[in-house]
Every structure is written in structure tokens, then in C-alpha cells.
């Protein structure tokens, strides 16, 4: 073989090696490109999943909150009506006291029946009378002190001496605080 042929063969071999190397580089670049694309797509997918989960959690919180608000609204929907009925209950209490003084048993029995029917109807709708009596400990959170007088007994100091107006609850909410006189 001549040296010229040998050089041509070597050059051809080098060209072939370079071409193979370039093809390998292109393939590895394509592979990297595909891997990068996969990573990018996975990152986007993770981002969208996170966004979806947050949106779902927010919606669940919204449903829970509106459900609570709806239940609370139904519980206290009649609050205004109940509050307007409280003076009627007070009037029945005063009427019964006066009728007892008159000693007319039939009249007293009739008014008691009407009063009890009204009280039971309101009780079935969630109205509850607060149990407060003389001698109970005064609690500013649930009682409204309208005045303070010297305690008739030492045992009534800082306690309720008299209940002027009854208090009422609608469900768990106090709609009228009992008005009391406390001893000092």
C-alpha cells in the first residue's frame, strides 16, 4: 500500500470516528433533552397536583364553614321573634301574681293554662329559662346587675339578693341576661 492510500484510509477512519462521535453526542443530547422534558413535565404535574389539593382543601373548608353558618342561622333564626315574646312571658308572670291576690281560682287556672301552653311552645323551639335565684353567686358573664344594696345577711354578700327580670337562652346563646340585685 502506498502512503497516500494509507493516509486516505486513516483520514477516512478519522472522519468515520468523528461522525460516530457526533452521532453519539446528538443521541445523548436527545436523551438529555427527553430526560429534561420528563423532569419538566413531572415538575409541572407535581405543581398542578399541589394546586388541585389546595383548591380541594379550600373547597372542603368552605363547605364546612357554610354548613356551620347554616346550622347556626337555623338555631337563631327565630331569635328576634323569641326576644319579642319575652315581654309577653313577663306579663303572664305579673298577671298570675295579681290573679293569685284576687283568689279567683277559675281565672287563675285559665291564665296558667295559656301561660304554660305558650311556654311549652317556645321551649320546643329552643327557648330555655335561665335558672337564677336569690343566694346564687353573681357571675358578670351571665348576669346583669342593675343595682347593689347592703346585704340583708352576711351570707348574701357578693351574691344575688333578688331577681328582677328572668333571663333566657335560645339554644346555647343567651338572648336576655337575667337582671339581678346584688348584695354588698
pLDDT in tens, 68-126: 988 877 766 778 888 989 999 999 999 998 988 888 888 889 999 999 999 999 999 88
Predicted local confidence at residue 176, as pLDDT: 93
CA atoms within 13 A on the CB side of 170: 19
How many C-beta neighbours within 10 Å does residue 178 have? 22
- pTM of the entire predicted model: 0.58
CATH number of 127-184: 2.60.40.10, 2.60.120.10, 3.40.50.1000, 2.30.22.10? 2.30.22.10
Torsion of CA 29, 31, 34, 37, to 10 degrees: -60
Amino acid at each position: 500500500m502506498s502512503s497516500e492510500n494509507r493516509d486516505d484510509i486513516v483520514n477516512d477512519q478519522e472522519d468515520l470516528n468523528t461522525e460516530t462521535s457526533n452521532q453519539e453526542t446528538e443521541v445523548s443530547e436527545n436523551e438529555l433533552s427527553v430526560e429534561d422534558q420528563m423532569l419538566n413535565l413531572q415538575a409541572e404535574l407535581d405543581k398542578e397536583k399541589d394546586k388541585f389539593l389546595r383548591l380541594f382543601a379550600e373547597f372542603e373548608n368552605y363547605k364546612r364553614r357554610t354548613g356551620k353558618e347554616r346550622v347556626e342561622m337555623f338555631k337563631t333564626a327565630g331569635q328576634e321573634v323569641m326576644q319579642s315574646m319575652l315581654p309577653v312571658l313577663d306579663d303572664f308572670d305579673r298577671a298570675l301574681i295579681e290573679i293569685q291576690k284576687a283568689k279567683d281560682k277559675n281565672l287563675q287556672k285559665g291564665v296558667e293554662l295559656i301561660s304554660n301552653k305558650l311556654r311549652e311552645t317556645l321551649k320546643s323551639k329552643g327557648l330555655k329559662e335561665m335558672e337564677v335565684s336569690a343566694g346564687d353567686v353573681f357571675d358578670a358573664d351571665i348576669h346583669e346587675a342593675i343595682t347593689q344594696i347592703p346585704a340583708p345577711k352576711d351570707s348574701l354578700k357578693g351574691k344575688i339578693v333578688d331577681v328582677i327580670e328572668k333571663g333566657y337562652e335560645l339554644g346555647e346563646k343567651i338572648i336576655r341576661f337575667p337582671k339581678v340585685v346584688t348584695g354588698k
